[in-house]
């Protein structure tokens, strides 16, 4: 079955960096676009970034552009989010997800918590 498992979250100081990973299994990873979505504590969902199946097309939310970088390694069935220049407002649970652009099925990981605090 489809599984997405995020890792790499934790506590980081403002201005610091973190790299999130998402390990995919149960499907042909290289066939699917992927996204990162985040949810601040007690708040709603915010789309963060999108990457096409080949990695050739990438989009970001304005709030993270220039600081967060999405990438993927299809040989390792993995999705990444490099997070630099982190701010307190980046504190959230970060989900990786497959199928959030009109797909007939959608799969999300369990999320990984990133806390930006001094």
| Beta bridge partner(s), residue 49 | 36, 60
By beta-carbon proximity to other proteins, the closer residue of 50 and 80 is 50
Nearest approach, Cβ of residue 45 and other proteins (Å) = 4
By beta-carbon proximity to other proteins, the closer residue of 3 and 117 is 3
Nearest approach, Cβ of residue 2 and other proteins (Å) = 12
By beta-carbon proximity to other proteins, the closer residue of 25 and 110 is 110
Residues 56 and 38: their CA atoms lie apart, in Å, by 23
Residue ranges that bind other proteins, judged by CB under 8 A: 35, 44-47, 50, 59-62, 95, 97, 99-106, 108-111
């Amino acid at each position: 079955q489809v599984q997405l498992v995020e890792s790499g979250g934790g506590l980081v100081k403002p201005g610091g960096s973190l790299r999130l990973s998402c390990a995919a299994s149960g499907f042909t990873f290289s066939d699917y676009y992927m996204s990162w979505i985040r949810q601040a504590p007690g708040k709603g969902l915010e789309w963060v970034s999108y990457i096409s199946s080949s990695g050739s097309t990438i989009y970001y939310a304005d709030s993270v552009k220039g600081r967060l970088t999405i990438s993927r390694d299809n040989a390792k069935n993995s999705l990444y989010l490099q997070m630099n220049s982190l701010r307190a407002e980046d504190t959230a649970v970060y989900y990786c997800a497959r199928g959030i652009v009109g797909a007939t099925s959608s799969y999300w990981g369990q999320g990984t918590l990133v806390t930006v605090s001094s």
